[in-house]
């Protein structure tokens, strides 16, 4: 399962900021519930429980809240890009890009593939910077899908272990070549 199959431009929020982590998760849960045709509160509660167990925020300003629920048949992803970061957790993380993933509890391998791709995307400084200037949800969607294609090509050429090693070309950010294609 790839991000381009579970993310739609309608599930991308470009906003100035949100009040707090809970508001971000509530908004993204609503988008996912509409996309997956399921109960918003189940998604929201599962994501909040996961966040309380262990933060999904990274020091780079991104967070990937995620959950798996019984009864779902498909995966969904929603993305929120904030112009101003929000305090995310008690560890002091400030987050301005949130990628929320929800899927069926029985499909662990697909969940892990989506998480891996999302982590690779959000590990790229050039991609995060470009997303923060996206003029529209459709533009952000196109960028994410193009970058994911680059990740998949790289994985096919070099294997999974390549992801664990730093790429010193482009300052360690191999997705810079992708982001440079987007002129906005």
Domain map (residue ranges) of the chain: 3-179
Which residues are marked as active site? 66
- Number of Cβ within 10 Å of residue 159's Cβ equals 9
Q: Which fold has domain 3-179?
A: Mannitol-specific EII; Chain A (3.40.930)
pLDDT tens, position by position, 166-178: 454 445 688 999 9
Predicted structure pTM score: 0.90
Burial class from Cβ neighbours inside 10 Å (0-12, 13-18, 19+) for residue 116 reads: middle
Query: HEC states along 95-164?
Result: EEEEEEEEEECCCHHHHHHHHHHHHHHHHCHHHHHHHCCCCCHHHHHHHHHHHHHHHHHHHHHHCHHHHH
pLDDT tens, position by position, 117-153: 999 999 999 999 999 999 999 999 999 999 999 999 9
Q: Provide the 8-state DSSP code for 57.
A: B
């Amino acid at each position: 399962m790839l991000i381009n199959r579970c993310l739609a431009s309608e599930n991308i929020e470009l906003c100035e900021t949100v009040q707090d982590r809970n508001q971000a998760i509530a908004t993204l849960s609503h988008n996912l519930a509409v996309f997956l045709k399921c109960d918003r509160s189940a998604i929201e509660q599962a994501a909040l429980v996961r966040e309380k167990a262990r933060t999904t925020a990274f020091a780079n300003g991104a967070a990937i809240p995620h959950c798996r629920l019984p009864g779902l048949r498909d995966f969904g992803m929603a993305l929120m890009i904030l112009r101003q970061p929000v305090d995310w957790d008690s560890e002091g993380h400030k987050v301005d890009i949130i990628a929320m993933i929800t899927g069926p509890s029985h499909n662990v391998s697909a969940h892990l593939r989506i998480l891996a791709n999302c982590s690779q995307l959000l590990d790229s400084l050039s991609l995060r910077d470009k997303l923060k200037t996206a003029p529209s949800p459709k533009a952000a969607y196109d960028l994410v899908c193009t970058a994911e294609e680059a990740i998949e090509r790289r994985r096919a050429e070099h294997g999974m272990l390549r992801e664990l090693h730093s790429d010193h070309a482009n300052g360690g950010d191999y997705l810079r070549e992708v982001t440079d294609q987007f002129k906005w």
